[in-house]
Structure 1
């Protein structure tokens, strides 16, 4: 009795007409965490030091608000258009932190052997921490810079120290880091982000 070569005896692993044989499977690089922890802590600590120059520059270039003394008890009256400087103070601080965020994003990307999410998150947190410290230090330094030693006379015009009235401005620094680093990752296009020097 001869064996029949019917459909039941066909091998099940026959490749179809559109299949492509895979000779070598490409290994995707894994996210490096342990080796990047110490550099990430260094990045976080170094970036927090940016708060000092940021606070000093803002306290000197942010415009003060001028008001007129209209009462013998020190009552202040607003001058025309001077209240706009309250927004200017926020805008100046926002542009300074945004610029720092962009620079930090580029510098962090240039750390080729440490590219990845760990150092990127450290850069985000470092810029956010620098922004918080700069906000607190800058307001204090501005208050001391525009301090009034003697009681102002009636009708005189005095300058009030710049102030930051919204914490939302702290998002500009991490935004600059995120956009810059993301654009550089997209432009690179490699699975390992070019960490291997070879």
Structure 2
């Protein structure tokens, strides 16, 4: 029964991260800047001066969005008290890596395509690109950092897993009351009068 519940919970987490990745990819396609280029006589294109900086902007925007999503994912997984531990950490990291892969795929598919042909000397807006696969590391790295930081600051041996503990009311400790009375009691047959003799 516990195994079925764990599998169901893991599937829910993975599905949520896949949806998150699709949303991140679409947002990146909308927000990432295009690169302006000049059409040359041979049909090739040359980027205008300073436009090459947008190639870095595209990568940086994707990485920062993934890092932010990973931090939120790791923090949300820590709030899930009943499932804290190594299994949840691995699930969150692997799920975030899958989410980043989905974001990259959706983002590159959602960007508008450039014109198939253009006149010589015209200016084209080249779609944003992601030139490196290293951008996929940011989201799982953020998730792992957020979760392990919460683990490091946890003072419980079981990481506080399970339902939240309720504080015990003050002044109702039976041990303290009985202990206080036993301090004034002696062994059987002993009385305060006999001690004074």
- The TM-score with structure 2 as length reference comes to 0.77
> What residue number does 1:97 align with?
66
- 1:24-70 residue CA offsets vs partner (Å, 9 max, x unmatched): xxxxxxxxx94644322321222111121111100011111110112
CA–CA distance in structure 2, aligned partners of residues 191 and 37 of structure 1: 25
After superposition, residues 74-89 of structure 1 pair within 5 angstroms as: 74-89=43-58
Q: Secondary structure at the match of 1:158?
A: strand
> What residue number does 1:48 align with?
18
Name which of 107, 112, 123 aligns with 1:157.
123
> What residue number does 1:188 align with?
154
Answer yes or no: is the 8 Å Cα contact 1:37–1:118 preserved in 2.
no
> What residue number does 2:114 align with?
147
After superposition, residues 23-38 of structure 1 pair within 5 angstroms as: 34=3, 36-38=6-8
Q: Give the deviation of 1:189 after TM superposition.
A: 2.1
CA–CA distance in structure 2, aligned partners of residues 81 and 127 of structure 1: 34
Paired residues, number: 162
Unmatched runs of 5 consecutive residues or more in structure 2: 166-197
CA–CA distance in structure 2, aligned partners of residues 171 and 95 of structure 1: 11
CA–CA distance in structure 2, aligned partners of residues 113 and 77 of structure 1: 56
Q: Give the deviation of 1:155 after TM superposition.
A: 1.2
CA–CA distance in structure 2, aligned partners of residues 124 and 153 of structure 1: 48
Answer yes or no: is the 8 Å Cα contact 1:66–1:159 preserved in 2.
yes
Q: Give the deviation of 1:146 after TM superposition.
A: 3.9
> What residue number does 1:68 align with?
38
Answer yes or no: is the 8 Å Cα contact 2:114–2:124 preserved in 1.
no
Answer yes or no: is the 8 Å Cα contact 1:43–1:119 preserved in 2.
no
Runs of 4+ displaced beyond 3 Å: 33-38
